[in-house]
Amino acid sequence: MAGDRLAIARLHEPLVFDNVQEELLSIWNLTKIGRDAAIREAIWAYHRRRIRRASTVGHRILSNVSSLNIPTRQKIPQI
């Protein structure tokens, strides 16, 4: 599922974007009002914003993962 694959990116969005919570709340409120054109425009703006900053989000993910100092796999010696 796409949501599962994007979960790590969504966790890093607040490090790259301001007002993520307000943006999502605004879209949610538009869905309750039900004006299709406004909903489409808000969702398209949401996606455009992320497309433009995708490499920045990716770099944030990589920098956080590399800072964990996860050990590399070691070969087990043959006995």
Whether the per-residue pLDDT at 56 is higher than 90: the answer is yes
Average pLDDT over residues 24-48: 94
pTM of the model: 0.72
DSSP letters spanning 19-58: -HHHHHHHHHHHHHHT-HHHHHHHHHHHHHHHHHTHHHHH
pLDDT-derived band at 76, boundaries 50, 70, 90:
low
